[in-house]
Amino acid sequence: MERDFWLSRWQNNRIGFHEPTPNAFLTAHFSALDIRPGGRIFLPLCGKSRDAAWLCEQGFTVVGVELSRLAVTQFFAESGLVPEISSTGSFERFEAGGVTLFAGDIFDLDPETLGRVDAVYDRAALVALPETMRRRYAPHLIALTKAAPQLLVTLEYEQSHAEGPPFSVPETELLVLYDSAYRPESVEVRDITGGFKGRCPARERVWVMPRRWPGPD
Ligand SMILES: C[S@@+](CC[C@H](N)C(=O)[O-])C[C@H]1O[C@@H](n2cnc3c(N)ncnc32)[C@H](O)[C@@H]1O
């Protein structure tokens, strides 16, 4: 989607995707990635997700990237934290309480600016992007994180029956995007009550994805 689409969603508080409590798939499945305490977890397209706070409570540090500066400032305000703010390239970097958030476009982010990543948690990031952007996003994420193990939540519905975002990412596409770098395992599938915006049946799928090759450590 175009950046103005998302910036205006935040400006107009049209953020139905935001969950006020930690995501149930995250709390149920994150341990399957087997990340050591103190690990640094990357949240792409993070919004002001409370998942960052939950990960910190589990003993991890969090780094995220989010297009909307408003979302980033709201995250820290709602966490009762006053962040240190600095500039790096085209990004503003906000840091407090074990959470570092880059305000800017993920496609402008490079591995040096992002720093070490021990795992990726993608909720509503891949599925927020249309197909052409997903084809750019997946290899970019792999390069940014050196294919750090990933917990990913996807959405599946008949795309011809409704428009995204969020978009449907069927299992076949997921494997095309990620099978070269990861060993994706589907660990939970849950039907969405009422389907996709009441238009067609829909379900969420949780993927645990260890990397295929040995890590950089
Ligand atoms: C559907 S929301 C999901 C937010 C968050 N992951 C959550 O679970 O609440 C997608 C988010 O991606 C952000 N976004 C969209 N395109 C982006 C980009 N190119 N770079 C960084 N963030 C982006 C939007 O501003 C929006 O907050």
Distance 112 CA to ligand 1 centre (A): 21
Q: Which domain holds residue 53?
A: 3-12+23-209
Please state the domain count of the chain.
1
ipTM of the complex, rounded to two decimals? 0.99
pTM over the 0.90 mark: yes
Does 213 appear as a known binding residue?
Answer: no
Could you please report the per-residue DSSP string of the chain?
A: --HHHHHHHHHTT--TT--SS--HHHHHHGGGG-PPTT-EEEEET-TT-THHHHHHHTT-EEEEEES-HHHHHHHHHHTT---EEEEETTEEEEEETTEEEEES-GGG--HHHH---SEEEEESSGGGS-HHHHHHHHHHHHHHHTT--EEEEEEEE-GGGS--SSPP--HHHHHHHHTTTB--EEEEEEEPTTTBTTTB-EEEEEEEE-BSS----
Classify residue 215: in a domain, yes or no.
no
Evaluate whether residue 85 is within a structural domain.
yes
Gap from CA of 11 to ligand 1 centroid (Å): 13
- Residue 66 annotated as binding? yes
What confidence tier does 1 reach under pLDDT thresholds 50, 70, 90? low
Q: Is 188 annotated as a binding residue?
A: no
Q: Is residue 217 part of a domain?
A: no
List pLDDT tens digits, range 57-73: 999 999 999 999 999 99
Residue to substitute in 15, 67, 93, 120 for testing ligand 1 pocket (most ligand atoms within 8 angstroms of CB): 67
**CATH code assigned at 134:** 3.40.50.150
Residue 17 lies in a domain: no
